[in-house]
Structure 1
Amino acid sequence: MRALLVVNPAATTTSARTRDVLIHALKSDLKLEVVTTEYRGHARDVGRAAAESGDAHLVVALGGDGTVNEVVNGLLHNGPDPDALPRLAVVPGGSTNVFARALGLPNDPVEATGALLDALRTGSERTVGLGLASGTPGTADEGAPDRWFTFCAGLGFDAGVVGRVEQQRERGKKSTHALYMRQLMRQLMSEPNRRHGAITLARPGEEPVGDLVATIVCNTAPWTYLGNKPVYAAPRASFDTALDVLGLARLGLGAATRYGTQLLTSSPERGPHGKHAVSLHDQTAFTLESQAPLPFQVDGDHLGLRTSVAFTGVRRALRVIV
């Protein structure tokens, strides 16, 4: 089988020696070409070239969720076609690896490589749904490029946290859970709309839901991990359905404490809930609109400020080795 391995050399949890071992193991079973990423967006470009050339049957992403997101956006540049596109495989190398873990893969890259080779030998794969974020026609964000996401997106509070973390990483800080928690608290203290949100969720044929401070869009569950602990913002979200949404209309000190505790104690059966929490399941199409530009993120990648984002849940978008 012809395969392309896309390696992020800056992956948080793999060393050069570990990557060499993984490459050697994959070459034992695959006709492998290796590409090491050199700039932001390189993995996307490589994925697109693989999809358009048809030379590779399989594209393996070795890195964190950001690397996986870039590869997926490259593969789906011309739209989803799971029967024609190369299959995707993931070897986790980031700090959190939500997509890989949500697929049931080991979080250790060596163990994940072994699981990948076993899956290839037995033909184990599944077709997963993905989310698509687009610029909304008739708004200032109409021309924003489409962006596919594998596990989550957000407009407002959580995207602000992601942006703060990225700033710290650019200054040389390591991506750790402690870093995320510190930036979360700083975002909470500086959030200007925490008592009266600026976001409206609009759906075709439904009454709009307004005054939201935070909106988390989930394509699977869990939403993220704190170490080895899964955190469920939308417990019913699944790769087999469209998108789920958690919206929070208050993030004052009391509400933030309540919803933060609910997230930390969340489970596959129960996520955040209450008077100011809105939960929607299996949504195919909706729009998030803001009265003022707000931070926007997909799969933990901060994409700047937006006033409007259109979301589409696309079932059966891509084949993945599991």
Structure 2
Amino acid sequence: MSALRTAAEDYLAMRRALGFKLTSQGRQLLSFVDYCEARHAERVTTELAVAWATHPPRGGTDQVYWSRRLMVVRIFARHLETLDPATEIPPADVLAHHYRRVTPHLYAPEEIAALMRTAGRLAPPLRAATWQTFLGLLAVTGMRVSEICRLDRADVDLDTGVLTVADSKFGKSRLVFLHPSTVAALRYYQRCRDRLCPAARTPSFLVSTRGTRLDAGNVQHTFASLVAAAGISARPGQHRPRLHDLRHSFTVRTLLDWYHDGGDVQARLPLLSTWLGHVDPKSTYWYLQAVPELLTLAADRLEQHTDRQSP
């Protein structure tokens, strides 16, 4: 094993011990190490980092993606420099870098209903029940896909109507409180699951037809087929509908409800950040500028406040 690989694996182990998941970043860093070893390079250099970052495996030409790949190496190089002063840290401006979030597809209530009906037609019955429950939880709680897939039976307390999201993104844990209608739906699924799969091979609350835990990576394929079967298509100028957009839709609906009920949205935003498991309220504030209707409502509220303050 090369010294560079040892340093990379030690670095990843250290950051994971601090609570960072580093799922994609870890793969990318080890890919960079492979690239260096193939060229018999013993140290990180700017030339190597830029060459690797701008030649992704699938030949992508997205410069934002390139800059994100380079950032993975830059962060590692800053750490490595303390151990090996000969390490070169790629300059921050060597590739154009700007943060760009995909405009979400905001599901209308009738689109969510269509997805639920389509999921109900899946076969066998256990698959239909699992997918309806999975989609329903995403829509009414705003949880992450991975969080729902990781839910164990012990995390679902239907007597108190509380879900425990343990060790989620950034190592955070939180409680999610359920509406009585959601509790009823989960009880119904629980009965179906235990009847159709009495010997599940996992403690997971949601189970596949094989009695195993849902795979957060594989569910995307099934969801794409459900979207097509439900007749849901991308709106002009927007990205194709994604599974993660159910989380976005929950957040936007919540903010719109707060504006329409006349409450203090700014004061409530930290509560929404906590509910969603955001590590930084900036992630929640993004919705106010990313969704035109929310931006208009925020501007109107600001104008009303300014008028009241004027002499």
Length-normalised TM-score, structure 1: 0.24
TM-score, normalised to structure 2's length?
0.24
1 or 2 for the larger relative contact order (CA 8 Å, sep ≥6)?
1
Decide which structure has greater helix share.
2
In our comparison, the structure showing a higher alpha carbon Rg is 2
Q: Please identify which structure carries the higher strand content.
A: 1
